[in-house]
């Protein structure tokens, strides 16, 4: 279900096993608990003016750091739109992340929130240490 995302893919999957040719978008939904983060490249317009044709290389280098650190802390960089990254840590009902069960309990969400904050701190540190971004 390209373009529909993870939640939309479940809607598409439920429509595939039906016999009709249309798509029923009114399939009952599911509640998903998650921590959402938003990261932005400061002064991106200045960077685009200075880097010009090399700006995509710069964004890809930033994305490599963001994706790597976030995945290391059990999150997913969900979307990139120029100078911003949408990052999600989804609370699964049963998780095989090496952590105890992350159910819809305050303790599980608290651990996810801690991992998200730690990710952002490590991302900033990685930017400062990066020889390619210097």
The per-residue pLDDT for range 80-119, each reduced to its tens digit, is: 888 999 999 988 654 444 444 444 455 578 888 999 999 9
Q: How far is CA 71 from the centre of its chain?
A: 9
Look up the pTM and report it. Answer: 0.74
5-64 pLDDT per residue, tens: 666 677 777 777 666 677 776 777 677 788 999 999 999 999 999 999 999 999 999 999
Cα R_g (the chain), whole angstroms: 18
- Compute the distance between CA of residue 42 and CA of residue 47 in angstroms, rounded to an integer: 9
pLDDT of 129 > 90? The answer is yes
* pLDDT for residue 28: 73
Residue 63 CA to residue 15 CA, distance in Å, equals 34
DSSP secondary structure, 66-101, as one string: HHHHHHHTT-EEEEEETTEEEEEEEE-SS--SSSSP
pLDDT of residue 111: 87
The answer to whether 89 and 115 have CB atoms below 8 angstroms apart is yes
């Amino acid at each position: 279900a390209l373009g529909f995302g993870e939640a939309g893919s479940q809607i598409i999957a439920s429509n595939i096993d039906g016999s009709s040719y249309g798509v029923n978008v009114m399939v009952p939904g599911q509640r998903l608990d998650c921590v959402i983060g938003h990261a932005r490249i400061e002064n991106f317009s200045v960077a685009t003016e200075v880097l010009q044709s090399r700006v995509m290389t710069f964004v890809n280098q930033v994305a490599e750091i963001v994706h790597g650190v976030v995945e290391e802390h059990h999150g997913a960089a969900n979307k990139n739109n120029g100078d911003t990254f949408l990052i999600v840590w989804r609370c699964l009902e049963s998780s095989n992340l090496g952590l105890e069960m992350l159910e819809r309990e305050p303790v599980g969400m608290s651990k996810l929130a801690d991992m998200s904050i730690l990710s952002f701190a490590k991302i900033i540190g990685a930017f400062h240490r990066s020889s390619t971004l210097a």
